[in-house]
Every structure is written in structure tokens, then in C-alpha cells.
Amino acid sequence: MKSKFLFLLIISVLFISCSKEEKKENEQINTKQNYLHQATVTEVIQVTQYTYMKVNEKGKEYWIAAPKVEIKEGTVINFNQTMEMKNFESKDLKRTFDSIFFVDNIDAKLGVGAMNKPMKPNIEKENVQVDKAEGGITIAELFANLNKYENKTVKIKGKVVKVNAGIMDKNWIHIQDGTKFNDDYDLTITSNQLATKDDVITVTGKIVLNKDFGYGYSYKVLMEDAKIETTGKKSKMISM
């Protein structure tokens, strides 16, 4: 009877000890995940050592800077802001920020939800009409026949609507030609060459599907390592 009591006592002590340890671990995890801020990235500027991000937190927009990280507009991030700098001058950008918060670390995984699903670019369809490249296809034809063009080299002509330079050692360029298939009207290309917004360019490169780079850089369709030929500065506008 005495030995049975001792056995039960030992089991009880071990149970209490394990419960306390588990509670302590949970508290540590909760502390690590207890971020002060959760915001959506609306603009990204990459420089030599830092990533500047304009974020929207519950309707309030402001700038933060963090050690260089690959991040995409539209990504939800969690962070603890560290220090506010007023009238901060960035020598890389040759720009002065009225106010910017320097952040030690950001977490782009928590609170994102469908982070691993292909993300549609947050870019509106522009009212442009660009003639199809000779020997090429339109953006609508591409999206209507994805399996046909997967891993194939194609040529497409379009207007540059957005440029993000120097991300992951490449330039990321969005083009539109005025055509669409379902809700798809914008093509993202990567290239070592650079174009500027409103350029009309002809791009030639390999089409890949469902490309996931992590950190929110995931694309349903991507043209990789495109060769760029600039054919004009302005595209023809559609009369409304």
C-alpha cells in the first residue's frame, strides 16, 4: 500500500512538472508570436543593404525599413517596430523620409493565409491596345493555352505598366497588350535588361507555370530571362 502511494506521488510530481514546462514553452511561443504590428505591404523599394516598405496598418500608411529581404507588394507582414527616424535621408535613394521606422526583423509567414498559392498581381487593367508581335502571340492567347506554351519560348509585345528593378538579381517587369482571358491580362517577366514604365517592348522568353520563390513571390505564369526589344515609348490608347 505504501509503495503504491509512493508510485502515485511520483507520477503526480512528474505530471505537474511536465505541465509547468509545457505551459512555459507555450508562453515562450506566444511571446515570440505576439507581434505588435501586422500590416500589408503596398510599395517596395530595394537598395544595397535595406528594403524600404510602405505599409498599411488598419488604414494607416507609413514607411518601414528592414535588413534586405525579398518581399512582394500585397504580402501581410508581422513585426515589432524599433526606432522612428524623422527627416531621414537615404543616400541610396537620394530621398528624405518625413518619418520612417527601422525594424530589426519581419515575419512574412504568420497571418498570411494563402501564402503558397499563386498571387495575382495587384495591377489594374490599362486601356491600351498593342499590336501583336510578328511571329508572336498575345497575352490572351498565352493564358488561354497555358499547357501548350509551358516550358516553350514565346514572343509577346506589350506596354510596360510596372517595373521592380534589382530583386533577386533580376528586373521584374509587368506588361499588358489590351487583351485578356477571363481575369488574366497582365504578364510578369524577369530579365537582366531593364525597361521603363510606358515603354512598348517585345519580350522573348520561356514560359513557366506556378513558379514559387517563397516570401510571397509566387506566380501562376511567368516569362523567365526574357530578351527585351524596345519598340516605342507610348502605346496606342483605346478610345472610350
* pTM passes above 0.85: no
Instruction: Assess whether pLDDT exceeds 80 at residue 27.
Output: no
Residue 124 pLDDT: 85
**What number of other Cβ atoms are within 10 A of residue 137's Cβ?**
20
CA–CA dist 72, 48 (Å, integer) = 17
Question: What domains are defined for the chain?
Answer: 37-107 (2.40.50), 128-235 (2.40.50.140)
pLDDT at 34: 58
Q: How many residues does the chain have?
A: 240
Among the ranges 23-27, 43-47, 85-89, 150-154, which has the highest mean pLDDT value? 150-154
State residue 209's pLDDT score: 95
Rounded Cα gap, residues 210 and 219, in angstroms: 5
pLDDT above 50 for 128:
yes
Whether pLDDT at 57 is above 60: yes
**Separation between Cα atoms, residue 40 and residue 78, nearest integer Å:** 9
The answer to whether 202 and 175 have CB atoms below 8 angstroms apart is no
93-121 pLDDT per residue, tens: 888 999 999 887 788 754 333 333 434 44
- Do 216 and 117 form a contact (C-beta atoms < 8 A)? no
Lowest mean pLDDT among 61-70, 106-115, 182-191, 231-240: 231-240
pLDDT band at 68 (very low <50, low <70, confident <90, very high): confident
Per-residue confidence (pLDDT) for residue 81, from 0 to 100: 63
Q: Assess contact for 46 and 68: CB atoms under 8 A.
A: yes
Predicted local distance difference test score (pLDDT) of residue 111: 39
Structure confidence at residue 238 (pLDDT): 37
